[in-house]
Structure formats: structure tokens, C-alpha cells
Amino acid sequence: MTSRRRFIQIVPLAGAAMLAGGHAAAQAPMVDENDPQAKALGYVADATKVDRNRFKQYAPGQVCTNCALWQGKPTDAAAGCAIFPGKRVAGPGWCSAYAKKP
Ligand code: SF4
């Protein structure tokens, strides 16, 4: 009986925390590739579209989800990035501030 009661007490709290977290993340707008800062950094939502002539340091396989500045989980479709505060970048994206996650 005790464990069942405990379960009932914990579940609504966990659900509320997940909803609150998801809601906050959903509110942050996505970085626009045409935003001046995004353009300056060569940000693209799809790393396969990186301008290889302009950004010679880009190597296939580099994406936001494996960048040290990525603030989400490796499986997130979009998340915050330290370079673009208050906004979200696309998981398969890339910009010239890319730094491989250690
Ligand atoms: Fe993506 Fe990293 Fe550039 Fe942020 S700094 S946009 S996570 S590549």
C-alpha cells in the first residue's frame, strides 16, 4: 500500500515538471538562418547545406547535437545554444562556432 501511495504522489509532480520544461523550450523561437548573427556565423538548420567554400573547417558529421555548445539531449530535434541565447537551433544544424563535444 505504501509504495502505491508514493507512486500516486510522485507521478503528478514528475508530469508537471516535464510539462513545464517542455513548455519553456517550445517558447524559444528557432534561430532564423537570415538573422544577421546567424548569417555571420554561417548557421544553417541542415549541416549538409554548409557553404563549404566559405567554411573550410566544416567536416561532414559535425552537427549541433554533437557540439559542445548544444544545450539539449543528443536526441533533441532542437535546443538552446550558448551562441544564440534565448533561441533554439536545429539538431542537424551547424555554424562556424562549432566545437566538438569532448
Ligand atoms: Fe550548433 Fe554548435 Fe553552432 Fe550552436 S555553436 S549553432 S550548437 S554548431
- The reply to whether ligand 1 has any atom less than 6 angstroms from the CB of 50 is no
- The reply to whether ligand 1 has any atom less than 6 angstroms from the CB of 64 is yes
pLDDT at residue 70, as a whole number: 98
pTM of the model: 0.76
- For residue range 6-44, list pLDDT tens digits in order: 544 544 444 444 444 444 445 799 999 999 999 999 999
Count of Cβ atoms closer than 10 Å to residue 37 Cβ: 13
- For residue range 39-88, list pLDDT tens digits in order: 999 999 999 999 999 999 999 999 999 999 999 999 999 999 999 999 99
State the DSSP code for 55.
Answer: -
Rounded-to-integer distance, Cα 8 and Cα 55, Å: 53
Identity of the residue numbered 35: D
Please check whether residue 89 is in contact with residue 64, taking contact to mean a CB–CB distance below 8 angstroms.
yes
- The reply to whether ligand 1 has any atom less than 6 angstroms from the CB of 97 is yes
For residue 78, what are the β-bridge partners?
A: 90
Task: Tell the burial category of 55 from Cβ atoms under 10 Å away from its Cβ (0-12, 13-18, 19+).
Answer: middle
pLDDT at residue 27, as a whole number: 72
| Ligand 1 atom closest to 96 (CA) | 3
27 CA distance to ligand 1 centroid (A)? 19
